[in-house]
Structure 1
Amino acid sequence: MVGTGGPVATFSVWDYVVFAGTILAAAGIGLFQAIRGRKETSSAEFLLGGRQMTAVPVAMSLTASFMSGITVIGTPAEAYRFGTAFWLFGFSYAIMSALTAEIFVPLFYRLGITSAYEYLEMRFNRLIRVIGTSMYIAQTALYTGLVIYAPALALNQITGLDLWGVLVATGIVCIIYCTLGGLKAVIWTDVVQMVIMLAGFVAVIARGAVLQGGLGAIWKDADKGGRLETFDFDPDPLKRHTFWSIIVGGSVMWVSIYSINQSQVQRYISCKTLGHAKMSLYVNMVGLWVTVSLAMFSGLTMYSIYKECDPLSNGDLSTSDQLLPYLVMDILAVYPGIPGLFVAAAYSGTLSTVSSSINALVAVTMEDFILPLCKNLSQKHISWLNMGLSVFFGGLCIGMAGVASLMGSVLQAALSIFGMISGPLLGLYLLGMLFRTSNSIGGLVGMIIGLVLTLWVGIGGQIYPPTAEKTNPLNVTIVGCTRDQNYTTIGPWPSPTPTTLQPEVRPPLADSWYSLSYLYFSLLGTLTTIVFGLLVSMITGGCKQEKMNSNLFVRKNDLICFRCFNKSKVSDVTEKAAKDFDMGADNPAFTDFDVMSKDLEKVTKL
C-alpha cells in the first residue's frame, strides 16, 4: 500500500525503454548539431556556438546546467526534511540575475573573452590567471564526478539499474555530443533536458494530488507538519537556513556561481547581442523560480504521503537521497514508463551539468594554458585539440565519480565547494572591477587569505558537523508503517551534513566557527579577499600604471538605470555600446576575428 513502508517495485521493460530513449535522444542532438555545423569548424563555433545564440535557449541552458541530478533528487528531500525555507532562494535568484546581468555581462561581453579567467591576466597578471583557472578546474572536476555518482547511487539502490554501467554510459553520452557538437549541442540538449526535468516533477505532483485528494490536501498536511514555516529572521549565522543566510549569503553564493563560473559565462557571451546576453539571465531567473517551486512542491507531496511512515526511519532506505526515487517507484510504478521518465529527468540534470562542465573545462584549458604557449596552431589543430580535450575531461569526470564512491557521504561537501572556492575568486574579480587602486600583489594575497579561511571553516564543518540545534530538522514518525520495526525513539533527523560519526570530544571551535552556515562561505571569502586585497595594495603602492584601460572596469553606463535616466553626452564608445544593447546590433568585438586566435594585446585595445 502506498505510503506505508516496505519494498517497492523495480523498473519494468517500458521504464528501461523510456530511460534509454532519453539518453539516445540526447546523443542524437549532439550528432545532429555536428552534422548541421560540419562546415563550421572554428574554435569560436565549437566553444561559443559562433556567438549567434539567442536569449531563450541560453537561459534554459543556464538553468539546466546547475539543476543537476543532485538538485532533482536533493531539493524535494530538503522540503520533506526541513520545510520550505529553501523556497526563499527565489529572492536570491532575482538578486543574482540582476547583479550578473548589469555588472558582469557588459564587461565580459565588451572584452570579447572566451575564458572568464582571461580577465584576471588583463587586470592583474599571468600568475593570478593561472591560479584562478587551476582552482576552477579542480573544483569543477570534483563536483562533476559527484554529480555523476550521487544520483547514480540513489537510483541504483531503488530502481536496480547497474551503477557502473549507468556511470560509464552517462560519461560516454556527454563525451559524444560535447566532442562532436560543441557548445550548440550542449545548449540545445540542455533545453530538451530542462523540459524532461520539469515533466518529472509534474508527474510526481499530479499523481500525489490524485492519491491525497488534491493539492489543497497536500498543502494542509505540510502545514500541520510544520513544513510551511518559511521565514526565520534569527540573525544567528550558525543556523543552516534563515531568511538572512539565504538572502545575503545565498545571493553572494549564486552570484559567484553565475557571474564568474566558466560554464555560465561561456553561455551568455555566446549570445549574438548584449541585449540577448542580459535577457538570458532574466529569463533564466524565471526558469529557476519554476524549477525550485516544482521541486519544493514535490517534497511537500512526498511529506503528505509519508507523514505517518518515514521510509528512512522505517529502514526502507539508507540515505535521504533515495527519498524521491523511492516515492516515484511507490506511487508511479502502476504506470509503465512513467518511473522511467522520472529517472530520465534525474539523469537529464546530470547530463546537462556534466556536458556543461566538459565544455567549460575545454575552453579554459585551451585559452589559459595551450594557446598562450602554442600561438602558431592551425585552426585544424585547434579543432582536434578541442575534441581531444572533451574526451579527456569526460574520462576524468568518470574517474572522479569512481573517487567519489570511496569518499562516503560527501554531498554537502560537494555543494560547499562552490562557496569555499568561488567566494575568494568573486572577491578577486570585484577587487579588479571596482577598485582602480588594487594591484596584483594585493589581489593575490587577498585571494590566498580568503581561500585559507573558507577552506578552514568548510573542512572543519565536514569533520565536526553542526548539531541538530543549528540545522533544525523537522519531526518524522513511523506510527503508520505496516512494516514492524523495533524503534524506541521517533524524532528529528540528524544533521544534513555528511553522515560520518561525530567525535565524542568536540573542540571549542566545533560549535562556533565550524558551525557557520555553508551559505556564508562565499560571503566570507569575497569580503576577506576584497578587504585584505585593498590593504595590501595600499601598502605596496597601489596600481602604478598611469592610465588603465577603462574597459576593465564596471562603468555606470553599463547599468540600465544610468542608461535610462542619464541624459548627459556620452562618449562614442559608450553610445555605440548602448545602441548595441537597445537595438540588438552585433557586438563589434566578435565580428571581425576568431576570438580563440586573438592575442592579449588585441583584446586589451578593444
Structure 2
Amino acid sequence: MPVGGGAVASFSVWDYVVFAALVLAAAAVGLFQAFRGRKESSSAEFLLGGRRMTAVPVAMSLTASFMSGITVIGTPAEAYVYGTPFWVFAFSYTIMSTISAEIFVPLFYRLGITSTYEYLELRFNKLIRMIGTSMYIMQTALYTGMVIYAPALALNQITGLDLWGVLVATGAVCIVYCTLGGLKAVIWTDVFQMLIMLSGFVAVITRGALLQGGFGKIWDDNYKGGRLDTFSFDPDPLRRHSVWTIVVGGSLMWTSMYAINQSQVQRYISCRTMTHAKMSLYVNMVGLWVTVSLAMLTGLTMYSIYKDCDPLTNRDVGASDQLLPYLVMDILAEYPGVPGLFVAAAYSGTLSTVSSSINALVAVTVEDFVKPIWPSLTEKQVSWINMGLSVFFGVLCIAMAAIASLMGSILQAALSIFGMISGPLLGLFLMGMFFRCANPTGGLLGLITGLIITLWVGIGAQVYPPLPTKTKPLPLSIAGCHSGQMNITTALPAWSSSVPPTSGPSIARPALANTWYSLSYLYFCPVGMLTTMIIGLMISIISGGCKQEMTNQALFIQKEDFICFRRSKNNENPDSNLIEKVGSDHPYGLDNPHFSDIELNLKEKDGNKITKF
C-alpha cells in the first residue's frame, strides 16, 4: 500500500461500472419524474413542480444543491490542511435556516412569485429587477462552471478519467432530465444524489477507521497534529477562519444563498403549504450539519493516515484538491467498485448543483425577461421556451468551466463568488423589506456601489492573495515516506490548491494588498450588504424617500413574520392570505402604482378568482 508515498492504483473495470450505473440511475430518477408528469406541461409545473412538493424531498434537494462536488472534495482537504475551524459553519447553517424560514419564506410565499427578483420590481422598479436578475445569471453561470470543472480536474489527475469527456457527459445528463422533467425531476434526482454523496463519505471514514484502529486513534492523531483547535476568537478581520468570520460573515453569506438565491427559493416556494416550506429549511439545516460533519471527519481520517507522509509535500499530488481522490484510490482500490462509488458521490454533487442551476436560470429568464417582453405567449409556447433554455444554459455552464480555471482554491473561490455578488443583492432585499423610506433611486445606486466595492476587494484578493501569516497551513510531515519516493503528478496550477503560495517570484504588492485585499473572504458578503444598505438609505432619504407615497403593506416584513403562529386557517394558503392583506379595508390598497400593471396570478382556494393589483 502506498501510504508511505508513491503511485496509487487506477480505476478498475468494476469502478467504471459502478460509476456509470449510479450516474445513469440518477438520470433515470429524473426521467421517471419527467414521464410521470408528462400530462402536466404547464410552466408552473415545469418551474415549480405544480407547487405540490413536500418538505423532506425539498429539504434534501436544498442540501444537495450547494453540497456540490466542490464540497465533497474541497471540505475534507480544508480539514486536512487547516484543521476543524470550518466545522463552526454548523452555527452559520442554524442562523441562516432560521432567518430564511421565519423572515423570507412568509414574504415570498404569500406573494406567490416564481422568480425571486419579481419582488424587486414590486418594491422598486423594473430596471432594478433586470439588474438583479442579470447579476444572478452571471453569478450562477460562473459558479456552475467551477462546480463542473474543479472536481473533474482533480479526479482526472488521480483516476485517469477523461476530463472533457466527463465534463460533457455531466452536462448532457443534466440537460436531458432538466429539459424533460423540470423542477420535480431535479428535486427527486437530488434526493438520490444526496444519498450517494453521504455514502461516499461513510465509505472513506469507515475504511480509514479500520486501517487506523478506530476513531479514537484518528482523534488522537489530529489532536497531536493541532487539527482540533476549532474555536479561535481572534477578532482580526484578516484572519481567514475564526468564530467571528464564520458566524458573522458565514451566516450572512449562507443567508444570501438560501434566502434570495433563485436556486433555493424556487425549491421551498414549490412546497404545497408554508408549513412545508419552513420545515424544508429546518430539515435542510440538519442535512447541512450531517454533510459538513462527515466531510470534516473524512479530512481528519485522511490526516491520521498521512500524518507521517503528506502527499502534498511529497508531491504525490499536485494540489490539495487532489488529496481525497488520492486517498480513495489508496485505501479503497482493493475493494472493486468502491472507488467508483466515491467518484459517483463527487459527480452526484456536481449533477445536483448543475441541474439546480439550469432550472433556476430558466425560471428567472422566463419570468424576468421573456414574459415581460412577450406577455401573450401561450402555455405551450412557454413550455417549449423552457425546454430550449434548459439546453442553452446547460451548454453555457459547460462553456463556463474553462473560465473557472482562472479562479483560486475551489472551496474558497466558490464561496467568494457568492459573497461578491449576493452580498449587495441581500442588502437590496433587506433594505426593501424593512425600510419604507427606501426608494428606487437609493436602491439602484446602493446596489451599484455595493457591487463595485465587493468586486474591488474580491478581484484584488485574487490578484494579490493574502500572505500566509493569517492563513498559515498547519504542519505536515514526510518523515515516514518510503525512501523519499516521489510520484510527481501533472501538477495543477497554483490557484487550485487551498494552500496559499509560500514561494515563487516576488510580485510588487500595493499598500492595500496586506490590508483591504487580505480581508477574509467570508466578509465579502457583509461588506457588500452594509454598503448597499447604508448608501441606498442615505440616497433614498436625500432624494425624498421619506415623502414618497406609501407602498403596499404586503411587500414589507410584518410583526407576524417573526414568530411561528397562524392567524387563521387561511395562513396555510399564501394566495388567500395576500388577498386578505390587500383587500378593500387595507390602507395601502389596490390603487398603488407599483401594482397597477402586474398580475400576480394569485388564486383563492376555490381556484376561480384571480386578483390583479
Q: Please list, as runs of the form range in 1=range in 2, the aligned pairs for 1:164-175 lying within 5 A after superposition.
A: 164-175=164-175
Shift of 1:321: 0.5
Matched residue type, 2:311: P
Which of 507, 510, 513 matches 1:507?
510
* Equivalent position of 1:567 in the other structure: none
Matched residue type, 1:464: Y
Shift of 1:506: 1.6
Change beyond 3 A, Cα 1:502–1:124: farther
Q: Please list, as runs of the form range in 1=range in 2, the aligned pairs for 1:138-537 lying within 5 A after superposition.
A: 138-405=138-405, 412-484=412-484, 496=499, 503-537=506-540
Change beyond 3 A, Cα 1:414–1:498: farther
Matched residue type, 2:277: A
Measured in 2, the distance between the counterparts of 1:457 and 1:197 equals 34
Measured in 2, the distance between the counterparts of 1:410 and 1:343 equals 17
Shift of 1:73: 0.2
Secondary structure, counterpart of 1:535 in structure 2:
helix
Q: Is the 8 Å Cα contact of residues 178 and 390 (structure 1) preserved in structure 2? A: yes
Measured in 2, the distance between the counterparts of 1:287 and 1:504 equals 43
Change beyond 3 A, Cα 1:240–1:212: same
Does structure 1 residue 575 correspond to structure 2 residue 578? Answer: no
Change beyond 3 A, Cα 1:366–1:523: same
Q: Is the 8 Å Cα contact of residues 307 and 476 (structure 1) preserved in structure 2? A: yes
Q: Please list, as runs of the form range in 1=range in 2, the aligned pairs for 1:61-72 lying within 5 A after superposition.
A: 61-72=61-72
* Equivalent position of 2:18 in the other structure: 18
* Equivalent position of 2:563 in the other structure: 560
Which of 588, 597, 600 matches 2:598?
600
Shift of 1:505: 2.3
Shift of 1:444: 0.8
Q: Is the 8 Å Cα contact of residues 462 and 497 (structure 1) preserved in structure 2? A: no
Matched residue type, 1:144: T
Matched residue type, 1:311: P
1:289-336 Cα distance to aligned partner (Å, 9 max, x none) = 000000000000000000000001101111110000000000000000
* Equivalent position of 2:54 in the other structure: 54
Measured in 2, the distance between the counterparts of 1:20 and 1:364 equals 32
Change beyond 3 A, Cα 1:497–1:44: farther
Measured in 1, the distance between the counterparts of 2:459 and 2:501 equals 11
Measured in 2, the distance between the counterparts of 1:155 and 1:372 equals 43
Shift of 1:412: 3.4
Matched residue type, 1:600: I
Q: Is the 8 Å Cα contact of residues 274 and 580 (structure 1) preserved in structure 2? A: no
Secondary structure, counterpart of 1:575 in structure 2:
coil
Q: Percentage identity across aligned positions?
A: 73
Measured in 1, the distance between the counterparts of 2:196 and 2:353 equals 14
Matched residue type, 2:114: T
Q: TM-score, normalised by structure 1?
A: 0.92
Measured in 1, the distance between the counterparts of 2:70 and 2:503 equals 20
Change beyond 3 A, Cα 1:119–1:129: same
Shift of 1:101: 0.3
Q: Is the 8 Å Cα contact of residues 468 and 494 (structure 1) preserved in structure 2? A: no
Matched residue type, 1:191: V
Secondary structure, counterpart of 1:311 in structure 2:
coil
Does structure 1 residue 538 correspond to structure 2 residue 530? Answer: no
Secondary structure, counterpart of 1:468 in structure 2:
coil
Shift of 1:547: 2.9
Shift of 1:419: 0.2
Shift of 1:599: 6.8
Measured in 1, the distance between the counterparts of 2:304 and 2:563 equals 45
Measured in 1, the distance between the counterparts of 2:441 and 2:501 equals 37
Shift of 1:600: 1.9
Does structure 1 residue 137 correspond to structure 2 residue 99? Answer: no
Shift of 1:22: 1.1
Secondary structure, counterpart of 1:230 in structure 2:
coil
Measured in 1, the distance between the counterparts of 2:62 and 2:407 equals 29
1:533-554 Cα distance to aligned partner (Å, 9 max, x none) = 1100000000544332111000
Measured in 2, the distance between the counterparts of 1:372 and 1:71 equals 37
Matched residue type, 2:562: L
Matched residue type, 1:87: W
Measured in 1, the distance between the counterparts of 2:563 and 2:406 equals 49
Matched residue type, 1:522: C
Measured in 2, the distance between the counterparts of 1:45 and 1:163 equals 35
Measured in 2, the distance between the counterparts of 1:522 and 1:408 equals 18
5+ residue gaps, structure 2: 488-495, 580-595, 602-610
Change beyond 3 A, Cα 1:555–1:503: farther
Q: Is the 8 Å Cα contact of residues 70 and 410 (structure 2) preserved in structure 1? A: no
Measured in 2, the distance between the counterparts of 1:369 and 1:83 equals 45
Secondary structure, counterpart of 2:530 in structure 1:
helix
* Equivalent position of 2:120 in the other structure: 120
5+ residue gaps, structure 1: 488-492, 564-573, 592-597
Shift of 1:405: 4.1
Q: Is the 8 Å Cα contact of residues 60 and 284 (structure 2) preserved in structure 1? A: yes
Change beyond 3 A, Cα 1:410–1:317: same
1:336-389 Cα distance to aligned partner (Å, 9 max, x none) = 000000000000000000000000000000000000010111111000000000
Q: Is the 8 Å Cα contact of residues 5 and 482 (structure 2) preserved in structure 1? A: yes
* Equivalent position of 2:106 in the other structure: 106
Q: Bigger CA drift: 264-273 or 546-555?
A: 546-555
Secondary structure, counterpart of 1:333 in structure 2:
coil
Matched residue type, 2:452: V
Matched residue type, 2:125: N
